[in-house]
């Protein structure tokens, strides 16, 4: 048969954040308004990964509001505090923690005022939900959050919170190699099924099953999208994306010469979300951005080996390279 199928597997672990002791901090401001809404300010830039939605969900959960009642202002250098770069799979973890803790501080102010108005002697028994502050175990005794915020504003107070979260890591010892360069770590395993045409060298990726430990999936649809997007990048990395250089100059600086996968190149992707609670993350969450693409290429190359018995040690695995390897194998 000219076409042969193979299955390959690859696993990774990946450290979240800048790592190795490099300063890694994110800040957030939160305010609860007298119309029962809240605003989150953070410098974190949403470049399509859905971080604004995640921050809104975190704030809504912490403040007992609907997601649609939370406005996230991000990436505005005039108004938002620094939250570092959208890189290193760090925004859900690092800025998510900053948003959660800023909300906790704003909530503290809210609950202290509500406790006085409700006539209770502690905030410990107060709960936020459905836009209300109510007494746990006695939900009939409640105040609307918007009413508490309004009276606070008329009294000269604002329900504000701010927080800077710093990810903890230590630089590796140059002599012993010991240390804690990252925290937390993401883990993943992907399985690839491919079909290799032994006459043309063309590889078709038929299916990728991608299992990722994300701590807690705050936004399941967003996590699945991240996994599928990472797989797309991994397919390109493995098979078609090739930067051509001539004495340091890029010969293919546009997408007419530097090929990336289109929807027609995508295999069936089966994302599997593993939720292993991360105690240092916001509601147990970790990042999933870069880990989603890391195992894909290795799994594909292992599947090619399973299909036709050749080891690819350079990428992309173009038809020319695969045909040359198959030819060498036959001659041997």
User: Annotated catalytic sites, by residue?
Assistant: 290
The position carrying tokens 């606070």 is 152
Contacts with 97 (C-beta within 8 Å, 6 or more apart), sequence order:
26, 165, 280, 281, 282
Token couple for 2? 């000219």
User: Interior CA angle at 234 toward 228 and 238, to 5°?
Assistant: 150
The structure tokens listed for 154 are 């008329």
Residues whose CB falls within 8 Å of the CB of residue 318, separated by 6 or more in sequence, listed in order: 201, 239, 240, 242
Taking a C-beta distance cutoff of 8 angstroms, is the pair 133, 111 a contact?
yes
**Angle at the Cα of 13 (from 205 to 87), degrees rounded to 5?**
85
* Backbone phi, psi, residue 319, to 5°: -55, -35
Q: Strands 159-166 and 138-144: what pairing? A: unpaired
Helix axes 96-118, 51-63, angle to 10 degrees: 20
- Distance of alpha carbon 101 from alpha carbon 103, whole angstroms: 5
SS3 87: coil
Distance in angstroms (rounded) separating the CA atoms of residues 31 and 106: 7
| 24: β partners | none
- Six-digit token string for 13: 């672990």
């Amino acid at each position: 048969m000219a076409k042969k199928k193979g299955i390959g597997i690859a696993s990774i672990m990946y450290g979240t954040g800048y790592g190795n002791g490099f300063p890694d901090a994110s800040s957030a401001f939160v305010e609860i308004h007298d119309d029962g809404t809240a605003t989150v300010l953070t410098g974190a830039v949403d470049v399509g990964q859905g971080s604004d939605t995640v921050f809104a969900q975190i704030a809504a959960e912490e403040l007992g509001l609907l997601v649609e009642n939370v406005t996230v202002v991000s990436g505005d250098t005039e108004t938002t505090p620094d939250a570092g770069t959208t890189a290193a799979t760090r925004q859900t973890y690092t800025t998510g923690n900053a948003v959660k803790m800023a909300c906790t501080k704003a909530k503290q102010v809210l609950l202290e005022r509500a406790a006085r108005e409700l006539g209770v002697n502690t905030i410990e028994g107060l709960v936020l939900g459905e836009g209300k502050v109510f007494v746990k175990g006695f939900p009939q005794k409640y105040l609307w959050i918007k009413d508490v915020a309004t009276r606070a504003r008329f009294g000269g107070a604002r329900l504000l919170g701010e927080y800077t979260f710093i990810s903890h890591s230590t630089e590796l010892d140059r002599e012993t190699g010991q240390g804690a360069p990252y925290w937390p770590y993401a883990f993943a395993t992907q399985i690839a099924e491919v079909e290799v045409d032994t006459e043309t060298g063309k590889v078709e990726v038929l299916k990728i099953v991608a299992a990722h430990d994300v701590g807690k999936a705050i936004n399941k649809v967003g996590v699945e999208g991240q996994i599928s997007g990472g797989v797309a990048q991994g397919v390109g990395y493995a098979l078609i994306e090739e930067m051509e250089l001539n004495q340091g100059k890029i010969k293919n600086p546009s997408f007419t010469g530097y090929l990336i996968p289109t929807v027609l190149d995508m295999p069936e992707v089966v994302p599997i979300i593993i939720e292993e609670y991360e105690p240092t993350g916001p509601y147990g969450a970790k990042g999933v951005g870069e880990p989603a693409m890391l195992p894909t290429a290795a799994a594909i190359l292992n599947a090619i080996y399973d299909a036709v018995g050749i080891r690819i040690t350079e990428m992309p695995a173009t038809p020319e390279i695969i045909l040359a390897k198959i030819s060498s194998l036959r001659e041997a």
